Structure 1
């Protein structure tokens, strides 16, 4: 639990990169400006959600590449990339390339499982192999091996006068494998991630075990502890854990902003009252108020007590100026209230 003897070590934020379908360039530019602002404020990391066939970032790798050339210190990650949409080998190539361009600042977060609304897209996504694609943990294990530099084939060396070939994914970015994260929502996936040497992204959506009481914070706490135990047992004692709750500080918000923010929270709060669906999906409550009020709620949150780094999620549907206000208050007021110290480039208010 962050306190004067163990402060919050890393402060990050997560954005969906919303855009207007009639002017998508403006939305992407806004996202890049927000990442630049994050670095200026001293944030340690900026994370991009991954959305397909929606009005949010569909290619976080491309956005991270652009952001890497407009920043110099802030870490850039995905939270998360659903591997069911990806060819692991091609994704490994892209991420290694961007990681090298960024100077080793990329933190890819991934998940597995059948793509959302698969029946509506499989004829285009996998027209010839839709019924035999493997969306199990094996897909992410293959991805991790390729990122680590495992052989793809036996053949390597020169062919002809000019062509030279490698037997592994190129370019290879040393250290990228250690910065792979898994977005786990259940105890099973958290334990698996720990055993496989991934870092853990624990978000505002989780699935309790059948015998657990439906208390979000306690369920999240138990999953993080299970992850750490699995990581320690498999020799990955240094594995990292990041928590991603929605926080909306209102310290410098205008009256109109406060009213809009409260409406947003009120509309989303009913879903937190009870588990949803056949798997008992649980949503964390959004935290809104002054930074002092939010810090008090976080200190009392059992899940937060297990971590020393966070990636606070920005609300989906706000305007650019709203995100500027929220990030400025997080860096200048909420972060310090949690013991966090801004990065070298940071100038929190």
Structure 2
């Protein structure tokens, strides 16, 4: 685990891939250029958010397919695909296809639950079944069964000149082992029981804990995951926080970054709502300052890799400066070394 003097195993970042709704092409191209630049900088991974009916990435699998043809090494993940808007059968076909195109570099992160703003578009999404859809974790299990190559059809054979198999095609061995699940303590325990990987984020819930300290709670969730995983020594845990290094930033950028973090700070003061949702503060500072914060952070101490989240509303030059400082300044201070 990345405590002082111990290397951080993998360094990555998460992007929303925002674009102009009236002219989406340049923004989508910018996302692909960010991924290409990340590979050149030596990052281990880039993760894509998944947003629907918003000017952001609505089809991360398509973005990963394009990125797989511009890169050769970097891992491509999703954080996360909400399975309530997906058919696990079809999603498994797409994920396996892109995984093969990429040479086995896809890390599908998923979640379940009623989709955000569902009542406003449920009849467009599921015209006849919107009241019957099952948004439970069974949707994850369906996806896993498809990715593992378990039978999905009761027929296998030849009809005329066409050959049919009883499992999803193409099949990409090992892809099911690279599925990630995000959520709180109970979700962490459930993910461990399935033998899949665990994504943390800058949001936790206080359910099942007496603490109101974000880092402590995130650490407890990771401990619960590792304690219940059949192979904790090889289980993957990724920590997600908003971390903004300022080493090469201009004075104007530093001012805007600090204003951004300050504008979001009030929500971190206490839990919100029935589930006690608690947000992490955003971390802004030099890489020396950020490394000190992270080494003292209970969640970071327990994670095996990171996917620091890029802020939603910054400009292209800002993202370029941030990911460059993450790779060249902060990463080495965390004991990480860029990949060739």
TM-score (norm 2): 0.98
Tell me if structure 1 keeps the 8 A contact 2:4–2:295.
Answer: no
Give CA deviations for 1:191-219 in whole Å, capped at 9, x if unaligned.
00000011000010111225421111111
Tell me if structure 2 keeps the 8 A contact 1:197–1:236.
Answer: no
Q: Which residue of 2 aligns with 1:306?
A: 302
CA distance in 1 between counterparts of 2:236 and 2:100 reads 22
Q: Which residue of 1 aligns with 2:234?
A: 238
1:131-210 to structure 2, matched below 5 A, reads 131-160=131-160, 162-184=161-183, 186-210=184-208
Give CA deviations for 1:163-207 in whole Å, capped at 9, x if unaligned.
1101000000011011000012x2111100000011000010111
TM-score (norm 1): 0.96
**What is the aligned residue count?**
340
Q: Give the superposition deviation at 1:84.
A: 0.3
Give unmatched runs, 5+ long, in structure 1: 345-349
Q: 1:29 to 1:278 in 2, by over 3 A?
A: same
Q: Give the superposition deviation at 1:276.
A: 1.2
CA distance in 2 between counterparts of 1:195 and 1:135 reads 19
CA distance in 2 between counterparts of 1:176 and 1:317 reads 32
Q: Which residue of 1 aligns with 2:319?
A: 323
The reply on whether 1:2 has 2:6 as its aligned counterpart is no
Give CA deviations for 1:281-324 in whole Å, capped at 9, x if unaligned.
01111000000000100011111110121000000011111000
Q: Which residue of 2 aligns with 1:347?
A: none
Please list every run of at least 4 consecutive aligned residues from structure 1 whose deviation after the TM superposition is greater than 6 angstroms. none
1:248-267 to structure 2, matched below 5 A, reads 248-267=244-263
Tell me if structure 2 keeps the 8 A contact 1:17–1:56.
Answer: yes
Give unmatched runs, 5+ long, in structure 2: none
CA RMSD of aligned residues (A): 1.0
Tell me if structure 2 keeps the 8 A contact 1:7–1:308.
Answer: no
SS at match of 1:214: coil
SS at match of 2:121: helix
Q: Which moved more, 1:237-246 or 1:35-44?
A: 237-246
Q: 1:127 to 1:192 in 2, by over 3 A?
A: same
Q: Give the superposition deviation at 1:127.
A: 0.9
Q: Give the superposition deviation at 1:3.
A: 4.2
Tell me if structure 2 keeps the 8 A contact 1:231–1:237.
Answer: no
CA distance in 1 between counterparts of 2:111 and 2:233 reads 22
CA distance in 2 between counterparts of 1:283 and 1:56 reads 22
Q: Give the superposition deviation at 1:6.
A: 2.4
CA distance in 1 between counterparts of 2:70 and 2:209 reads 48
Q: Which moved more, 1:298-307 or 1:202-211?
A: 202-211
Q: Which residue of 2 aligns with 1:296?
A: 292
Q: Which residue of 1 aligns with 2:275?
A: 279
Give CA deviations for 1:135-185 in whole Å, capped at 9, x if unaligned.
00111111111011000012011101x21101000000011011000012x
CA distance in 2 between counterparts of 1:342 and 1:286 reads 24
CA distance in 1 between counterparts of 2:37 and 2:10 reads 16
CA distance in 1 between counterparts of 2:271 and 2:43 reads 33
